[in-house]
């Protein structure tokens, strides 16, 4: 792959056909002749159709960012206007999977090295900083990975790095699975997000990684001691995603972090024990876990009453203390919650604490509930004390938005969301929003089996009113005739 060329657009490689049609066909101006022009002046009229090249550099670079790095580099052959445009794109993607798919096995090794050398030149020719860099490689070019990481972190000051190891098998005895990198390879201050897929984890590259805020580990092999040390080194983590394929289970895995807010665990292999101590944790997402026991010390999640730990296995369960934090942070969380690992869709149960008088929190509740695929087993809703202080970074909108969330164009719950059993804690009969939510759960057939209400000890003075409201709920037309409603 070359980075520059002066050849004309007529000699472009066939791979350019995957680029947007305008990019290929409008590479030069065309001379069009019409009947009117020939009868008039008898001369051709030039219609400049290469309007894309007239766009500002920032717009061209944004367009190129939607292409693979290979296709983006190819556009440098279009004209002088395009020669350097790809060099300033904020996102680079190196994908070597096609080498294995389209070439005989005997040629893969040689072609991989050629491709890797070409990518080294591409990285060196790129100018400016990078927002993200994705490297999807095969095992033959591990020698290049360390060099690339140093380039994109120290020179390009990349914020987000994704490394994917494309191999045919994962076993504890395959040596090339190990991620051998220079000490503190991921410790550059600009790097805040790191995703690793299919590696045997070594702690050497994670020394002093207090810069990382997001760490995603997929199909990872590791020792408990290595993982624990990695977590200690990444002391500023706010998001941690763990999908562990193999773990040496000699001791308990400890996750201790004062800043961690989101923890997602997928653990198909058996482990000894997991201990979580995270005072700021607001989301604990268990996709699957098999171990002899685990403990969680997270004050914001400790108020939930339900226990989904049964016989060494926890059913898929999501605990979420909803708050109106920055939308960008919530967007990242929701994307991770909806992600499918091992082709598993969102199932199981949900525990959520929410203030239904806060429309921001209600909108988040809607999105989380809609993540469920099919019928949810259990739903635990803990209504917040409305006098609770607003958390740091949290906003609260009042006024016209209040009381509107269950009406309008997209009322919720809709006709499709279903849950077997619902527990509502701190239910207050004087709260119109809570009663409205409960009534829709009843009339829309949202709850299919049992509906339990629990009155807070702090609201005992309103107990009679709450019991009266629950009695009123029992009189409503039910979506399911045999729905059992009780109040405690």
Q: pLDDT tens-digit profile of 13-51?
A: 333 333 333 333 343 333 333 444 444 444 555 556 677
More confident residue, 363 or 397: 363
| Mean pLDDT rounded to a whole number for the chain | 78
What is the CB-side half-sphere exposure of residue 164 using CA atoms within 13 A?
A: 12
Q: Would the pTM count as exceeding 0.85?
A: no
Of 109 and 227, the one with more pLDDT: 227
Two tokens at 367? Answer: 């999105």
Q: Are 419 and 381 in contact (CB under 8 A)?
A: no
Summarize the confidence of residues 222-229 as an average pLDDT: 88
Both ends of the chain: CA-CA distance in Å?
A: 70
Question: CA angle, corner 65, sides to 62 and 71, nearest 5?
Answer: 130
Give the Cα-Cα-Cα angle 353, 308, 217 (nearest 5 degrees).
85
pLDDT at 402 over 70: no
**What does the pLDDT read at residue 409?**
58
34 occurs within a structural domain: yes
Mean pLDDT of 226-230: 90
d(CA 120, CA 141): 11
How many folded domains does the chain comprise? 1
In this predicted structure, what is the pLDDT of residue 363? 85
Two tokens, residue 268:
């198909």
Q: Is residue 33 part of a domain?
A: yes
In a domain, 22, yes or no: yes
Q: Give the lowest-confidence range in 93-107, 253-267, 365-379, 396-410.
A: 396-410
Whole-Å CA distances, 481 to 374, 443, 471, 475: 20, 10, 16, 11
Most confident of 92-101, 108-117, 124-133, 299-308: 124-133
pLDDT at 255: 92
Q: Is the pLDDT of residue 278 over 90?
A: yes
User: Which residue range(s) make up the domain with 23?
Assistant: 15-53
Please give the pLDDT value at position 8.
Answer: 38
How far apart CA 174 and CA 359 sit, in angstroms, is 52
The predicted pLDDT at position 444 comes to 86
* pLDDT tens-digit series, residues 380-401: 999 987 544 445 544 444 443 4
The pLDDT value recorded for residue 140 is: 63
More confident residue, 338 or 71: 71
- Domain membership of residue 43 (yes or no) is yes
Nearest partner of 134 among 98, 96, 180, judged by Cα: 96
How far is the CA of 207 from the CAs of 47, 75, 156, 230, 458, in angstroms? 60, 40, 20, 8, 48
pLDDT value at 3 more than 70: no
Contact (Cβ atoms closer than 8 angstroms) between residue 304 and residue 351: yes
Give the pLDDT of residue 94. 83
Q: Would you say 221 and 179 are in contact if contact means Cβ atoms under 8 Å apart?
A: no
pLDDT confidence of residue 249:
67
Tokens 């591990």 correspond to 142
User: And the tokens for 59?
Assistant: 């717009």
Average pLDDT over residues 454-464: 75
135 in a domain, yes or no? no
Average pLDDT, integer, range 308-328: 75
Q: Which own/partner contact pairs does 342-348 have at CB distance under 8 Å and 24+ positions apart?
A: 342/266, 342/268, 344/287, 344/288, 344/316, 345/373, 345/374, 346/316, 346/371, 346/372, 346/373, 347/316, 347/372, 347/373, 347/374, 347/376, 347/377, 348/308, 348/315, 348/316, 348/317, 348/318, 348/376, 348/377
pLDDT at 5 over 70: no
What pLDDT does 388 receive?
Answer: 47
Give the per-residue pLDDT at 187: 92
Residues 253/222, Cβ–Cβ less than 8 Å:
no
Residue range 342-347: average pLDDT?
56
Q: Token digits for 366?
A: 């809607």
* Local confidence band at 313 (pLDDT 50, 70, 90 cut-offs): low
Distance CA 478, CA 94 (A): 56
**Contact indicator for 434, 403 with CB cutoff of 8 Å:** no
Per the domain annotation, does 35 fall within a domain?
yes
Q: What is the pLDDT of residue 149?
A: 92
CA distances from residue 480 to 347, 415, 422, 435, 446 in whole angstroms, order as listed: 22, 12, 14, 18, 8
Q: Of the ranges 82-91, 134-143, 213-222, 420-429, which one carries the lowest mean pLDDT score?
A: 134-143
Residues 190-221 as b or e (16 or more Cβ within 10 Å = b): ebbbbbbbbbbbebebbeebebbbbbbbbbbb
What pLDDT is stored for residue 186 in this prediction?
93
- C-alpha closest to that of 125 among 84, 159, 162, 75: 84
* pLDDT value at 68 more than 50: yes
């Amino acid at each position: 792959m070359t980075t520059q060329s002066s050849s004309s657009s007529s000699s472009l490689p066939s791979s350019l056909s995957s680029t947007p049609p305008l990019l290929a066909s409008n590479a030069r101006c065309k001379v069009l002749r019409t009947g009117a022009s020939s009868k008039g002046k008898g001369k051709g009229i030039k219609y400049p159709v290469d309007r894309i090249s007239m766009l500002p550099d920032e717009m061209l670079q944004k367009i190129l960012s939607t292409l693979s790095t290979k296709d983006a580099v190819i556009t440098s052959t279009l004209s002088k206007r395009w020669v350097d445009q790809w060099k300033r794109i904020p996102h680079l993607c190196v994908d070597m999977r096609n080498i294995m798919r389209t070439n005989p096995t005997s040629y893969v090794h040689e072609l991989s090295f050629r491709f890797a050398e070409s990518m080294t030149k591409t990285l060196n020719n790129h100018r400016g900083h990078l927002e993200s860099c994705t490297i999807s490689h095969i095992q033959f070019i591990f020698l290049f990975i360390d060099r690339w990481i140093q380039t994109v972190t120290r020179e390009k000051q990349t914020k987000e790095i994704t490394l994917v190891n494309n191999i045919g098998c994962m076993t504890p005895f395959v040596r090339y699975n190990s991620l051998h990198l220079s000490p503190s390879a991921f410790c550059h201050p600009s790097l805040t997000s790191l995703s690793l897929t299919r590696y045997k984890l070594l702690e050497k590259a994670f020394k002093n990684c207090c810069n990382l805020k997001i760490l995603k580990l997929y199909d990872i092999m590791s020792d408990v001691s290595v993982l624990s040390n990695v977590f200690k080194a990444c002391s500023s983590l706010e998001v941690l995603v763990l999908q562990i394929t193999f773990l040496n289970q000699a001791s308990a895995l400890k996750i201790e972090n004062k800043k961690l807010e989101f923890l997602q665990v997928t653990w198909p292999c058996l482990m000894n024990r997991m201990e979580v101590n995270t005072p700021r944790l607001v989301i604990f997402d268990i996709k699957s876990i098999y171990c002899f026991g685990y403990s969680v010390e997270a004050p914001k999640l400790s108020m939930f009453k339900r226990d989904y730990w049964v016989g060494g296995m926890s059913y898929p369960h999501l605990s979420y203390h909803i708050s109106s934090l920055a939308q960008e942070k919530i967007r990242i969380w929701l994307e991770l919650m909806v992600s499918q690992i091992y082709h598993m869709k969102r199932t199981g149960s949900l525990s959520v604490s929410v203030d239904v008088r806060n429309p921001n929190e209600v909108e988040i509740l809607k999105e989380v509930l809609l993540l469920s695929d099919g019928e949810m087993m259990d739903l635990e809703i803990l209504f917040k004390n409305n006098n609770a202080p607003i958390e740091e970074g949290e906003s609260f909108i009042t006024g016209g938005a209040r009381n509107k969330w269950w009406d309008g164009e997209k009322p919720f719950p809709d006709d499709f969301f279903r849950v077997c059993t619902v527990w509502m804690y701190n239910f207050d009969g004087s709260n119109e929003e809570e009663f409205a939510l409960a009534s829709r759960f009843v009339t829309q057939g949202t709850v299919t089996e049992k509906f339990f209400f629990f009155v807070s000890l702090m609201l005992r003075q309103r107990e009679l009113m709450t019991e009266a409201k629950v009695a009123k709920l029992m009189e409503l037309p039910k979506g399911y005739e045999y729905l059992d409603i009780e109040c405690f």
